[in-house]
Amino acid sequence: MRIRSLAPPDWDQLAELIYSSLSVWYRTRLNMEKFGAEAEPFRVFPELYEALDPGCCVVAEDEASGRLAGSIFYHPRETHWAVGIVNTNPDFGERGVARALMQHVLALADAAGKPVRLVSSAMNLDSFSLYTRLGFVPCMTFQDLKLEVPAAGMPPVGESGLMLRRALPEDAERIADFELRLNGIRRSHDWRHFIRNEQQCWHLWIAERADGSLAGFLGAVAHPASQMVGPGVCEDESAAIVLLHRVLDETFRGRGVVWLAPVHCAALVRQCYAWGARNVELHLASVHGAAPPMKGITFPTFMPETG
Ligand SMILES: CC(C)(COP(=O)(O)OP(=O)(O)OC[C@H]1O[C@@H](n2cnc3c(N)ncnc32)[C@H](O)[C@@H]1OP(=O)(O)O)[C@@H](O)C(=O)NCCC(=O)NCCS
């Protein structure tokens, strides 16, 4: 098995690998069909991730056949590195491919002196075992909520006293500082990338108090192949509720969308249920190395998996 960087001619084969890895795993382990019939939409990963973090995908190539056996994307940031998405071709499963790719990235992060963070399914004992055997420690649990947002818009939500608006270039550093204060991580690169929005799929909102201080921020990706709310962090659940409401209402009318809510945030979860959201999976945020406490109301996402 040869470990090397992803190259542009690999993109179609990589999309096929990610598609078959996810669809075979969910079909055989959970009896779920949730990834459609085509691999082509999974080009979203190299397309969006190579724009965000160029050169940060490593693949395992089977030297005998030249086929891709596995892949891993990683995201170097100021305070940490993040990992995701990780996939093994089902034809090469349970042979140490994912472990070798993870160890490769862990060694790079270690050389850079950074802890590594990821979000993985709590319904997937294969990935849970892979990561915890490598020393990752789960530190927060999330429920994945799915909602078909009404075409006419979301029902009104109570008054919060916060002012909501789209983030501007001058907000990127204060968003990064806000997340650092609440969750101990910083990723200003993401916020600049969202605000520049060169792919026309990124959204980023902030909530401010009357004195101009930040109460929260929340992003979203709205791409034909990926619709998801997050990443975001809020100081309290009322800010989380109004920001989530605004993002759903402005960006996802008439569409189905998923977000991850911390299971311990009872008011937020109650509001999600009141809107009609349904649980579709559970996820764990895990850290390898120093894990600062996550004091904010946190919305991770699978696109981009940078926190
Ligand atoms: C999860 C996935 C990446 C694992 O890939 P893989 O190449 O088969 O995994 P590996 O063989 O490298 O490693 C699996 C490790 O978990 C261990 N393991 C598996 N099941 C286990 C269990 N129930 N208890 C303890 N350990 C277990 C294996 O022993 C192995 O550890 P070892 O190498 O230290 O012995 C693969 O199943 C996949 O692509 N799934 C679909 C996509 C996905 O879920 N990606 C992860 C997204 S977060």
189 and 262 both lie in a single domain? yes
Tell me the per-residue pLDDT of 178-189, one tens digit each, with 9 for 90 and over: 999 999 999 999
Asked if the structure places residue 127 within a domain, the reply is no
Closest atom of ligand 1 to CA, residue 118: 48
278 and 157 both lie in a single domain? yes
- State how far the Cα of 24 lies from the Cα of 109, in Å rounded to an integer: 30
* Residue 159: partners with Cβ closer than 8 Å, 6 or more residues away: none
184 and 61 both lie in a single domain? no
149 and 281 both lie in a single domain? yes
What integer pLDDT is reported at residue 158 of this predicted model?
87
Q: Ligand 1 centre from 131 Cα, in Å?
A: 8
Q: Which residue has the tokens 């050389």?
A: 111
106 and 161 both lie in a single domain? no
Asked if the structure places residue 138 within a domain, the reply is no
Three-state secondary-structure class, residue 2: strand
* Residue range 13-32: mean pLDDT, rounded: 95
Domain count, the chain: 2
% of residues, the chain, pLDDT over 90: 98
217 and 103 both lie in a single domain? no
% of residues, the chain, pLDDT over 70: 100
Tell me the per-residue pLDDT of 125-184, one tens digit each, with 9 for 90 and over: 999 999 999 999 999 999 999 999 999 999 999 888 999 999 999 999 999 999 999 999
164 and 270 both lie in a single domain? yes
* Closest residue by Cα to residue 240 from 281, 283, 278, 207: 207
Give the Å distances, CA to CA, from 273 to 4, 147, 277.
45, 9, 5
What residues does 61 pair with on adjacent strands? 2, 68
Asked if the structure places residue 124 within a domain, the reply is no
78 and 151 both lie in a single domain? no
Closest atom of ligand 1 to CA, residue 25: 41
157 and 110 both lie in a single domain? no
Closest atom of ligand 1 to CA, residue 88: 39
Asked if the structure places residue 134 within a domain, the reply is no
Asked if the structure places residue 277 within a domain, the reply is yes
What integer pLDDT is reported at residue 122 of this predicted model?
97
Asked if the structure places residue 267 within a domain, the reply is yes
What integer pLDDT is reported at residue 220 of this predicted model?
98
- Reading the block at residue 81, the tokens are 């590195």
Read off the CATH number of the domain in which 12 is found: 3.40.630.30
Q: Ligand 1 centre from 299 Cα, in Å?
A: 25
Whether the Cβ atoms of residue 81 and residue 105 lie closer than 8 Å to each other: yes
What integer pLDDT is reported at residue 307 of this predicted model?
94
Last residue in a domain, options 114, 135, 158: 114
158 and 294 both lie in a single domain? yes
Query: DSSP state, 278?
Result: E
Give the Å distances, CA to CA, from 163 to 208, 211, 219.
5, 10, 16
Q: CB under 6 Å to ligand 1: residues?
A: 21-22, 25, 70, 85-88, 93-99, 120-121, 124-127, 129-130, 133
What integer pLDDT is reported at residue 159 of this predicted model?
86
Band of the pLDDT at 34, cuts 50, 70, 90?
confident
What residues does 182 pair with on adjacent strands? none
**Backbone φ and ψ of 112, nearest 5°:** -85, -5
Band of the pLDDT at 203, cuts 50, 70, 90?
very high
* Residue 131: partners with Cβ closer than 8 Å, 6 or more residues away: 102, 118, 120, 286, 288
What integer pLDDT is reported at residue 173 of this predicted model?
98
| CA nearest ligand 1 atom 15, residue | 130
Asked if the structure places residue 17 within a domain, the reply is yes
- This prediction has a pTM of 0.96
Q: Please give the residue range of the domain that contains residue 51.
A: 2-114
Report CA 213 to chain centroid distance, whole Å.
26
- State how far the Cα of 73 lies from the Cα of 101, in Å rounded to an integer: 10
* Residue 88: partners with Cβ closer than 8 Å, 6 or more residues away: 21, 69, 70, 97, 98
Asked if the structure places residue 305 within a domain, the reply is no
